[in-house]
Structure formats: C-alpha cells, structure tokens
C-alpha cells in the first residue's frame, strides 16, 4: 500500500511534539514538507525534524506534487481560505481545531470538500486517545448504569500582561476566547461519547476586563439520547480545575479532559481507577486513523461533519455576547 506523504501549513508550537512527529511515526505515513510565513523558522523546523522541504508560501506546499495530504495547523481565522485552496488542489485535508471562526465557515469548508468528493478531518485528537476510548467503552458497558447527566468544569486564573495578548483570546483570530480553544475539545468529546447535541443554550460574560473576549461561559445542553448536561468554563478563577463527571443510575465516572491523570469510577462503595496515560505525541493515534482511511483500512472518528456540530454548539453559547 502507498505511503501517505504529508505537508504541514503552519509548523508552530503545536507541531513540535503534539502533532508533527505523529506524521512521521504513524504506520504508512511520512512528513515531506512544512510551511511557515517566516521561511527561516520553516527551514529550522525542517532541519530539526528531518523534513525534506520547507516553504514560506502556503500555495507552494499545496501545489507540491509529492504532498498527498495537507495538515492546516494555523489559527482558525485562516482555516476557511486555506482549506478551500487544498480542496481546489484535489487533496485530502486535516484542519486544526476549532474548525473555523464559526459554524457558517464550517459549512463552506464542508461544501468545498464535498463538491470534490474529498475527505476533510479536524484535529479533535481526543476521539482516538486511549483514555477516552476507555471512557466510551466503560459507559457503553454500563459501568455506571444508565448515563443520565454530565457536568463539565474547566477553570483557570485570568490571563494578564503579555499572556493577555495571546491570539487565542482575540476573537478576530480565534472566533471567541479560551472557551473556543478549550471548550471545543469538551463539546467534541461529548459528541464522540453520546452523539449529536440537539439543544444548547449558553451565557458568556467578561468578568475581569483583561481582554475583549469573554472569560466565563456557562451552558446547558441535551443529546438525542435524552442525556442532559451542564458546563462551566471560567477563566477568571482562583485555581485550575479540569473535570468531566458522568452521573448514572448506578454510579459516577470522572475523567480529566486536558490533564494526563486517571479515570475514576464509583459504584456504591467501590471506586475503580483506570490509569491510562497519553502517548508521547497525542495526535498520533488520530493521525493513524486518517492514514488508515486513506489506505482503505478504516475510518477516522473526527470528521468535518462532527467538528461542524461542535462549532454550532459553541456558537450558541457565545451568541448573545458577540451579538451573532
């Protein structure tokens, strides 16, 4: 079977450990080209990671005949344009999360790839991480009985000083604030575990005034299955917290979303601890599913369609804050 040759647009921090090496280490995969607007930084990345070619123009990488598939690892504000160009070139594409600035842009991206009958995936890599595959299996096996509700809590101290200029809290680049960056993983993970959310409401506010974007978001939502959920993403809190708690008719399951810590299942007086650690390159399991799909050996669980559903849910939560 052919080896899938990848090119990366935007070889920044996320590609150093989390994703980049995964394209080289996945079976049947090879990283052959990288691009960054700063050509010297692109060449430095290529030298350090053993990548044959480096570009400072995205079009040069997209048009490279030796690149079979493209990974867009830039901020969300550029995803739509770059993805449309990849689709026009007739190549499959993996896009970083969130998929785009808003759900409307996601629909445009989907249309571009559907019209060319090309696959589009989004880098919600938790769908393939062993921890969350284990959580899904535990819930489906009835470890806590019938799941009836879920609560998400993600908190952190407010960003100040130089940190308050991060692009992730510039709505023109990221779509909103840290809620889009971190909350998107939470909503997508819930979609993976329970299927589509059919109803969602949310409220966002800015409590610290440290930057323009919202810093606290609360949400309530309901799945097709009837499971209901709530969430709080508070980025003006006294401390960091990171939990997703599932309540069931016979017990409770708690997992982190972001930290590499244990899954705990409580049923009656018995608590079971699942010690599942992340791989060295957290994107690699998802990359492997994409490579396998391209080689006709499986399906990737994180599609443009599922990622668009996540963006729709995010939009509902911040709609009143941004007047959308």
Residue 14, in any domain of the structure: yes
CATH code at position 100 = 3.40.50.720
Residue 304, in any domain of the structure: no
| Residues 134 and 102 grouped into a single domain | no
* pLDDT digit string, tens, across residues 88-130: 999 999 999 999 999 999 999 999 999 999 999 999 999 999 9
Report the domain count for the chain.
2
| Residues 193 and 100 grouped into a single domain | no
Residue 187, in any domain of the structure: yes
CATH code at position 249 = 3.30.360.10
Q: Examine the pLDDT at 300 and tell me if it is beyond 90.
A: yes
* pLDDT digit string, tens, across residues 6-51: 999 999 999 999 999 999 999 999 999 999 999 999 999 999 999 9
Query: The whole model's pTM is what?
Result: 0.97
Contact indicator for 149, 228 with CB cutoff of 8 Å: yes
| Residues 100 and 158 grouped into a single domain | no
Q: Examine the pLDDT at 136 and tell me if it is beyond 80.
A: yes
Contact indicator for 191, 306 with CB cutoff of 8 Å: yes
| CA 22 to chain CA mean position, Å | 16
Predicted confidence at residue 324, as pLDDT, reads: 81
| Residues 266 and 288 grouped into a single domain | no
| Residues 160 and 243 grouped into a single domain | yes
Closest CA to 320 of 249, 217, 241: 217
Residue 181, in any domain of the structure: yes
Rg (CA), the chain: 20
| Residues 102 and 174 grouped into a single domain | no
Distance CA 299, CA 297 (A): 7
242 beta partners: 154
Q: Examine the pLDDT at 1 and tell me if it is beyond 80.
A: no
* pLDDT digit string, tens, across residues 155-172: 999 999 999 999 999 999
Helix (H), strand (E), coil (C) string for 171-238: HHHHCCCHHHHHHHHHHHHHHHHHCCEEEEEEEEECCCCCCCCCCEEEEEEEECCCCEEEEEEECCCC
CA-to-CA separations, 187 to 147, 215, 284, 285, in angstroms, rounded? 17, 17, 21, 20
* pLDDT digit string, tens, across residues 170-226: 999 999 999 999 999 999 999 999 999 999 999 999 999 999 999 999 999 999 999
Structural domain of residue 78, as residue ranges? 4-125+282-299
| Residues 225 and 187 grouped into a single domain | yes
């Amino acid at each position: 079977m052919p080896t899938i040759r990848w090119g990366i647009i935007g070889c920044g921090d996320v590609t150093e450990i989390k994703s980049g090496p995964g394209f080289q280490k996945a079976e049947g995969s090879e990283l052959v080209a990288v691009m960054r607007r700063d050509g010297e930084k692109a060449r430095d990345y290529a030298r350090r990671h053993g990548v044959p070619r480096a570009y400072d123009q995205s079009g040069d990488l997209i048009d490279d005949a030796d690149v079979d598939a493209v990974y867009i690892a830039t901020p969300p504000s550029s995803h739509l344009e770059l993805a449309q160009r990849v689709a026009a070139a007739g190549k499959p594409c993996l896009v970083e999360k969130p998929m785009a600035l808003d759900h409307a842009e996601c629909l445009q991206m989907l249309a571009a790839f559907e019209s060319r009958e090309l696959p589009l995936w989004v880098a919600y890599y938790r769908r393939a991480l062993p921890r969350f595959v284990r959580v899904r299996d535990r819930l489906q096996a009835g470890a806590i009985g019938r799941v009836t509700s879920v609560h998400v809590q993600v908190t952190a101290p407010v960003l100040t000083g130089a940190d308050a200029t991060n692009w992730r809290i510039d709505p023109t680049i990221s779509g909103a604030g840290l809620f889009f960056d971190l909350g998107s993983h939470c909503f997508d993970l819930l979609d993976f575990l329970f299927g589509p959310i059919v109803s969602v409401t949310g409220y966002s506010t800015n409590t610290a005034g440290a930057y323009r974007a919202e810093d606290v978001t609360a949400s309530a939502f309901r799945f097709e299955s009837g499971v209901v959920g709530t969430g709080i993403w508070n980025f003006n809190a006294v401390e960091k917290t990171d939990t997703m708690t599932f309540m069931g008719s016979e017990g409770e399951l708690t997992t982190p979303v972001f930290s590499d810590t244990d899954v705990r299942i409580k049923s009656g007086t018995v608590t079971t601890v699942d010690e599942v650690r992340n791989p060295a390159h957290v994107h690699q399991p998802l990359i492997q599913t994409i490579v396998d799909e391209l080689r006709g050996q499986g399906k990737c669980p994180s599609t443009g369609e599922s990622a668009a559903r996540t963006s729709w849910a995010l939009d509902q939560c911040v709609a009143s804050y941004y007047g959308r």
